[in-house]
Amino acid sequence: MGAIVTGATRGIGLAIAQSFVSERASVVLAGRSIEEGRKCADALGPNAHFISCDLTRKKEIEALTAEADRLFGRIDMLVNNAGDLHRASVLDLPVEEYERIHKLNLTAPFLLTQLVGRIMVRERRGGSIINITSTGAAVCRPGGTTYHVTKAGLAMLTRSSALDLGQYGIRVNAIAPGAFETGLMLSSTSTTPGLRDQLVSTTPLGRNGQVEELADVATFLASRDSSYVTGQQLFVDGGRMMLNPGLKVPEVADWVDFRR
């Protein structure tokens, strides 16, 4: 079995790649950090390969897919995990940042779904595509336009591509993480004093998640254990989405920095 996991040089993507390798899959780890990516692949052993790719560039996405196809002769699993955000009030958000985040969070998963989907159709073995969305696909915090719009779009890409690809035995599902203490989450919470504690205190399980807990769910969605599951978005958030309201609206002083 061959897999591509994007954004696998650290954080959630690396944990998913680790979990797939431990289930004896061959995995391409994709990301921009060449040294880090090679180190990660070496640590995972001979079934892991790093391919450098800037997912905001169509040509690099095409090269990534072609190289994974050449390596494995098939691709059975795709995890669209790489993601980023630009925090700014909608009044100040530069269109260049809006477009950059769209390219990474939404256009790249679309292109990969198309390119990898064609390989899966060619091979006639079905497949599993997993999109990493966010609780931010459904609820918002101030200054989060780029993130919320793209993650909500990715949730809908999940459903619409599940509809198109079901006839080929290709399942498409999304995982919406709550708070996992990766670099992305820490850079996001560090600009808002008290946000980390607020997140924990509004999570019914009373803690943030461990990346391995997210990887276990991805492994389930990639495996035959979920063979009748498609078009779903599974919230892995310690129960936080049950709360209404989830977060207090921050005081202006908490997010004024995002305008820089």
Q: Active-site residue numbers? A: 147
Which helix (H) or strand (E) covers residue 177, if one does? strand 170-177
* One residue of 1, 2, 4, 7 binding ligand NAP per CB under 6 A: 7
Give yes or no for residue 13 binding ligand NAP (CB under 6 A).
yes
Site for ligand NAP in 42-101 (CB under 6 A): 53-56, 81-84
Q: Is 25 in the site for ligand NAP (CB under 6 A)?
A: no
* Nearer CB in complex with ligand NAP: 11/117: 11
Rounded CA separation 139/124 (Å): 38
Stretch in the footprint of ligand NAP (CB under 6 A) among 11-19, 63-71, 158-166, 249-257: 11-19
Pairing outcome for strands 127-132 and 48-52: unpaired
Region at 238 (left for phi over 0; alpha for psi -120 to 50; beta for the rest): left
**CA 213/CA 102 separation, integer angstroms:** 27
Q: How far is the CB of 54 from ligand NAP (least distance, A)?
A: 5
Question: Cβ–Cβ contacts within 10 Å for residue 90, how many?
Answer: 12
Told to check if 109 binds ligand NAP by CB under 6 A, we report no
Beta strands per DSSP E along 26-76:
26-31, 48-52
- Within residues 200-259, the interface with ligand NAP by CB under 6 A covers none
**Residues contributing to the site for ligand NAP (CB under 6 A):** 7-13, 31-33, 36, 53-56, 81-84, 104, 132, 134, 177, 179-180, 182-185
